[in-house]
């Protein structure tokens, strides 16, 4: 087996996976001792899909695995320190969110601050690829603005995809592995080694957590686990020679779903940051009647398929793929919405007759 494959991907992934298993067990035990549970009978939020008390705190477990993995395999230079510090900020915010459920605008402010830490450490999008003609170099100010917007937006989008048991960690692991493979393709360039290692550590950390988050879940990712996932994927996309379009293809379903969700909430005069039950995964559960495991696996398979596509498409093809996803998912949401309205009318007519 290829020596670089073992050292850059397999070993970091396995070590992070094992650490994550133990750290997740520890967090579950700790939250139970503190009696910190997410009880749907108490919170009564329309977006919730769990039916029994479950501890959150997944962000702590994942952060521990990533912190130890990074400390073992990567030099603690300024960019890595920036990533770890920002990840710690998001993890602490996740713990606060578990207990106090702060305003989404406060969460947004902290997300911006965490992204600012990473940018200050020297990580930014210095150019973007024009799918039709070369690259576009960005000025320092524009690079900061684009990087901030990219990190914060992907962090929010990924956090929104933690709708039910196992959905988030599976998607994140597949996405991180895709980026690791992409970086491994350029392993002759030693600047891509840390990217492959960090992506592998991220994948391993979320795979270990998945064991306890899959149906029936024993722990939830919480805000910390959701935001940490999107945050790391956004940074990895930047570090892997600015492969923003690759990340957008792999995470195409949650990104396009978030796009339509924001438009729908704003058009209804509501804040785009307040949760509801209109995401695609909610529609699938409610309209198709699929089980949580089946829906989660469906999301994983779509993500894996898009990941394979992303590894074999050029920039123009990736752009066309994103446009196709916008059209397909939009049509699917309209179809699901039509049938949900139709079934609701049918149920009302049936109840009126009885």
Cite the DSSP H helix spans in the chain.
3-5, 11-34, 40-43, 58-73, 78-100, 104-120, 140-159, 167-185, 193-213, 222-239, 244-250, 252-267, 280-283, 292-312, 315-353
pLDDT for res 354: 55
User: Which residue in 219, 237, 216, 350 sits closest to 296, CA to CA?
Assistant: 216
Give the residue, 255 or 353, on which the prediction is more confident. 255
pLDDT for res 335: 77
Task: Write out the two tokens for 308.
Answer: 């394979």
pLDDT for res 313: 87
pLDDT for res 214: 94
224: phi > 0 → left, psi -120 to 50 → alpha, else beta; which? alpha
Q: How far apart are CA 205 and CA 19, in angstroms?
A: 7
Task: Write out the two tokens for 85.
Answer: 């510090």
Percent of the chain with pLDDT over 70: 89
Q: Is the pLDDT of residue 231 over 90?
A: yes
Mean pLDDT value across residues 130-135: 76
φ and ψ of 39, to 5 deg: -100, 115
User: Which residue in 48, 294, 296 sits closest to 165, CA to CA?
Assistant: 296
Q: How far apart are CA 172 and CA 175, in angstroms?
A: 5
Largest Cα–Cα separation, the chain: 72
Residue 3, Cβ density class (10 Å: 0-12 exposed, 13-18 middle, ≥19 buried): exposed
Q: Is the pLDDT of residue 7 over 90?
A: no
Task: Write out the two tokens for 187.
Answer: 């392993």
Q: How far apart are CA 198 and CA 201, in angstroms?
A: 5
Question: What are 279-311's pLDDT values in tens digits?
Answer: 787 778 776 778 889 989 999 999 999 999 988
- Beta-bridge partner residues of 54: 38
Q: Which of 183-187, 228-232, 274-278, 344-348 shows the highest mean pLDDT?
A: 228-232
């Amino acid at each position: 087996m290829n020596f670089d494959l073992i050292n850059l991907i397999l070993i970091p992934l396995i070590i992070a996976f094992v650490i994550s298993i133990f750290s997740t067990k520890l967090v579950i035990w700790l939250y139970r001792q503190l009696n910190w549970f997410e009880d749907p009978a108490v919170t009564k939020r329309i977006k919730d899909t769990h039916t029994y008390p479950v501890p959150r705190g997944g962000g702590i477990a994942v952060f521990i695995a990533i912190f130890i993995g990074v400390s073992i395999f990567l030099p603690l230079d300024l960019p890595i320190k920036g990533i770890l510090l920002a990840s710690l900020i998001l993890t602490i915010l996740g713990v606060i969110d578990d207990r106090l459920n702060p305003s989404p605008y406060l969460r947004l402010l902290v997300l911006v601050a965490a992204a600012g830490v990473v940018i200050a450490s020297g990580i930014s999008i210095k150019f973007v690829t024009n799918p039709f003609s070369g690259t576009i170099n960005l000025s320092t100010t524009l690079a900061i603005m684009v990087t901030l917007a990219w990190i914060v937006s992907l962090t929010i989008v990924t956090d929104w995809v933690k709708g039910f048991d196992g959905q988030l960690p599976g998607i994140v692991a597949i996405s991180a592995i895709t980026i690791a493979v992409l970086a491994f393709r350029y392993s002759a360039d030693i600047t891509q080694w840390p990217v492959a290692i960090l992506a592998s550590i991220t994948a391993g950390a979320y795979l270990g957590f998945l064991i306890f988050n899959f149906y029936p879940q024993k722990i939830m990712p919480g805000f910390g686990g959701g935001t940490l996932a999107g945050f790391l994927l956004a940074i990895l996309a930047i570090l892997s020679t600015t492969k923003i379009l690759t990340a957008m293809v792999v995470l195409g379903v949650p990104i396009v779903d978030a796009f339509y969700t924001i438009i729908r909430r704003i058009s209804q005069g509501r804040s785009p940051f307040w949760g509801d039950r209109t995401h695609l995964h909610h529609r699938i559960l409610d309209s198709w009647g699929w089980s949580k495991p089946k829906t989660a696996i469906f999301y994983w398979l779509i993500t894996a398929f898009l990941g394979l596509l992303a590894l074999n498409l050029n920039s123009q093809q990736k752009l066309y793929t994103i446009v196709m996803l916008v059209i397909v998912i939009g049509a699917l949401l309209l179809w699901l919405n039509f049938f949900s309205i139709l079934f609701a009318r049918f149920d009302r007519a049936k109840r009126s007759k009885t």
